Amino acid sequence: MTNDAPVLLVTGGSRGIGASVCRKAAKSGWRVLINYLSNEAAATALKDEINQAGGVAEIVQGDTGNEFGIEAIFRAVDERFGRLDGLCNNAGVVDLGARVDAYGRERLERMFSINVIGKIRCASEAVKRMSTAHGGTGGAIVNLSSMAAVIGGSGQYVDYAASKGAIDTFTVGLAREVAGEGIRVNAVRPGIIETDIHASGGAPDRAWAMAAQIPMQRPGSSDEVADAVVFLLSSQASYVTGAILNISGGR
């Protein structure tokens, strides 16, 4: 791969959907910066896998839930690559399933810091580097929303669903704001996808346990989401902006 290949930052790229995006984007010719929070071993193994397959990947630790982390991530973009062409705004968390009347402020502050403020701040740092209004050459952003934004997450995590609703609105607003500056902004809304996120919400078997409620009768894979993300990042989606694509088996 040449060292003028486009550069993609994937937040939360060490595992799950983000890791699939890193693999598939690298195969499509992107140089990839894999951000992770705490699982350095997973990020390193993915980096080695991509580099051994002839791609270019680097890793950077950083918590998208605070400014210190975001600063470290974008410093790595600037120092190691000196350019940014794509952002997969992926890092996101759930919490243990609970009704709204059980939520405290601490839970909401963590959820919204990572899922909403972190994504908006990463997008603003990306726009500063990509926008033709800032001397950049354009780029593409794909935000990870969720079908929860539409369904509401009742009885499980309405806070998470509301954070994803914010991402839907943010996607449309930012897309229109920077459409004349060479940047396309889209989102995907995965349904139930088999990743570790369900275990972190206290229900490791959730994906298959919900299969009967999904019209296609199965959860999706992280690769099925990544295919859509890489398409939206690519020039094949050159006239697509402000779109939100459901990847949910009909749910």
Footprint on this chain of ligand NAP (rule: CB under 6 A): 11-12, 14-18, 35-39, 42, 63-65, 90-93, 114, 144, 146, 190, 192-193, 195-197, 200
Residue closer to ligand NAP (CB basis): 72 or 172: 72
Q: How far apart are CA 66 and CA 72, in angstroms?
A: 10
Cβ proximity to ligand NAP, 118 vs 136, nearer residue: 118
Between CA 169 and CA 198, with CA 103 as vertex, the angle to 5 degrees is 70
Whether 160 is catalytic: yes
Nearest to ligand NAP of 7, 197 (CB atom): 197
- Report which residue type is found at 235: S
CB 17, min distance to ligand NAP, A = 4
Longest dimension (CA), the chain: 54
CA dist., res. 234 & res. 157, Å (int): 33
Question: 143: closest CA among 91, 183, 89, 179?
Answer: 89
Smallest separation (angstroms) from ligand NAP to the CB of 93: 5
Q: Which is nearer to ligand NAP, 49 or 181 (CB)?
A: 49
Answer yes or no: are the C-beta atoms of 113 and 65 closer than 8 Å: yes
Tokens of 104: 């405290």
Closest CB 35 distance from ligand NAP, rounded Å: 6
Minimum CB distance to ligand NAP, residue 96 (Å): 14
Burial of 182 (0-12, 13-18, 19+ CB in 10 A): middle
Q: What gap in Å lies between CA 12 and CA 28, rounded to an integer?
A: 19
Smallest gap, in angstroms, from Cβ of residue 114 to ligand NAP? 4
Tokens of 38: 């705490």
- Please state, in angstroms and rounded to a whole number, the distance separating the CA atoms of residues 238 and 114: 29
Return d(Cα 220, Cα 183) in angstroms, integer.
Answer: 29
Residue 225: HSE in the Cβ half-sphere, 13 Å Cα cutoff: 31
Which residue, 91 or 131, has its beta carbon nearer to ligand NAP? 91
- Active-site hit among 36, 103, 157, 160: 160
Catalytic residues: 160
